[in-house]
Amino acid sequence: MMAPSVLNGIRLWPRTLRARLFVILLAGLGIAHAMSFAVLFSERYIAARSVMFNTLENDVATSIAILDRLPAAERAAWLDQLARGSYRFVLGQGIPGNPVLGADDVEVASRIQTAIGAKYPIEVEAIPGGARHFQAHLRLSDGEPLTIDVTPRGVMPVADWLPYVLVAQLALLVLCSWLAMRQAVRPLANLARAVDTLDPNSNTPRLSEIGPREVAYAATAFNAMRDRIAQYLEERVQILAAISHDLQTPITRMKLRAEMAEESVDRDKLIQDLDEVERLVKEGVAYARSAHGNDEQASRIDLPSFIESLAYDYQDTGKAVTVGELSSGAILIRPHALKRILTNLIDNALKFGGSAEIEVQRRADDTVIIKVLDRGPGIPESQLEAVMEPFYRLEQSRNRDTGGTGLGLAIAQQLATVIGASLTLRNREGGGLAAEIALRQ
């Protein structure tokens, strides 16, 4: 069993390639940006600290030298002019404090001591309070006490606009990373969709071969593979059509010879077997021709009239074919291909259900649904897709004994694909089968 931490890591890790590459690229750029910012900030801090201490030493030494040379009566007038942002001079003993300093204050006091030199011994004391505050006490040459009141400030305060710049840089990193991943993964997504919808017999557009060299090469290879598959299918269909066509002549001769023979049980069985073989051959030719149903030109027909005419033809021969709901409207379709699809589905319903009902519905998106319904035994759910394959027969109620060749539904499926429709089968509530043809206008 996997540890909980491993499972949590798996759940948090993105599932798509685009998201994973985006996270990796963004994390790498973010870390590199943070390291660059840290290096620049550190270098600026060191430089600013060095400049600050050098300025402090020079200013303090100069200020004390000026005050020491001024007459005692004029010194007070100079105090404001010699004051700086982090320190000022006070004539007198100052405020009593604690001689124990912090590490940073010790360094500042040491710098002041170095600037003044040994001529002016100083005592440094920390002044109690919330902020950093200490005073350096010394005496001028005439003995007057002087206090340096120091309130150290940050070496390099952060500008108010800096957080906004960092946020803008982070947003730019996110945008650039997303665009890079989109450009990198989009060809792969297009290739995946092309593979998922691959159908050499349909008129789907070829994969674009424009783009970077690697993308163009993959698209060219995919299109070439599609062409080879289409060629193989074409050869297979041609072989099937040729064999089925060439078998018709010898089968006809064999039937004639069998019919001319003396009547017997074996003769009748032989004729029955030849009829079955001939039916299988004809279905094979029909299946081969269905792959080339796109040769027929599309025309606009009135669908309700078309369905009713087809149902009347069956009724004239005594078949139980009825018409249910019929949505009005004309459609652009290849009529002979549609008629062959409906004929196969109706024959299938009559064979296994004894009757057939045809319905036509039009959805809000203008998709036309043609249903052929029966009340037969239906098809097991696990075999609803398999029955669409050529020469597939159910082993129970729909077997060879009923005269099926296993090509009726395959031909209907093939022709539906050719005319741009989709054929699906589903079992009806209460028993029976529903074959639905979806025509997208």
pTM of the complete model beyond 0.75: no
The domain made up of 197-291 has a fold known as Helix Hairpins (1.10.287)
The H or E element spanning position 136 is strand 134-139
The residue count of the chain comes to: 441
Confidence of residue 371 (pLDDT cuts 50, 70, 90): very high
What is the pLDDT at residue 342?
92
Domain boundaries, the chain: 16-187, 197-291, 296-440
pLDDT above 50 for 398: no
% pLDDT > 90, the chain: 9
What is the pLDDT at residue 290?
65
Confidence of residue 294 (pLDDT cuts 50, 70, 90): low
Average pLDDT score, the chain: 79
How does pLDDT run across 102-133, given as a tens digit for each residue?
766 777 777 777 777 777 888 888 887 767 78
pLDDT above 70 for 413: yes
| Mean pLDDT calculated for residue range 161-180 | 82
Q: Are 120 and 63 in contact (CB under 8 A)?
A: no
| Mean pLDDT calculated for residue range 200-213 | 72
What is the pLDDT at residue 82?
85
Q: Is 148 helix (H, G, I), strand (E, B) or coil?
A: strand
CA distance 247 to 243: 6
pLDDT above 70 for 253: yes
What is the pLDDT at residue 295?
61
What is the pLDDT at residue 110?
79
**Residue that is written with structure tokens 């674009």 in the block:** 208
What is the pLDDT at residue 396?
46
Beta strand 356-362 with 321-326: parallel, antiparallel or unpaired? parallel
The H or E element spanning position 337 is helix 335-353
What is the pLDDT at residue 427?
92
Q: Are 356 and 349 in contact (CB under 8 A)?
A: yes
Taking domain 296-440, whether its CATH number is 3.30.565.10 is answered by: yes
In sequence order, which residues have a C-beta less than 8 Å from that of residue 156 and are 6 or more positions away?
41, 44, 45, 48
pLDDT above 50 for 272: yes
pLDDT above 90 for 431: no
433 bridge partner residues? 427
| Mean pLDDT calculated for residue range 143-163 | 75
pLDDT above 90 for 356: yes
Q: For residue 239, what are its two tokens?
A: 């072989």
Which of 163-172, 317-326, 402-411 is predicted least confidently? 402-411
Q: For residue 115, what are its two tokens?
A: 């600037």
| Mean pLDDT calculated for residue range 393-407 | 55
| Mean pLDDT calculated for residue range 353-374 | 89
How does pLDDT run across 49-71, given as a tens digit for each residue?
777 777 777 888 888 888 888 88
Q: For residue 335, what are its two tokens?
A: 């009529």
pLDDT above 90 for 372: yes
Query: What DSSP line would sit under 255-321, residue for residue?
Result: HHHHHHSPP-HHHHHHHHHHHHHHHHHHHHHHHHHHTTGGGSPPEEEEHHHHHHHHHHHHHHTT--E
| Mean pLDDT calculated for residue range 353-372 | 89
Using alpha carbons, list the distances in angstroms from residue 434 to 278, 312, 346. Answer: 29, 21, 11
Please choose, from the candidates 251, 253, 191, the residue with its C-alpha nearest in 3D space to the C-alpha of residue 225.
Answer: 191
| Mean pLDDT calculated for residue range 155-165 | 70
Report, at the CATH architecture level, how domain 16-187 is classified: 2-Layer Sandwich (3.30)
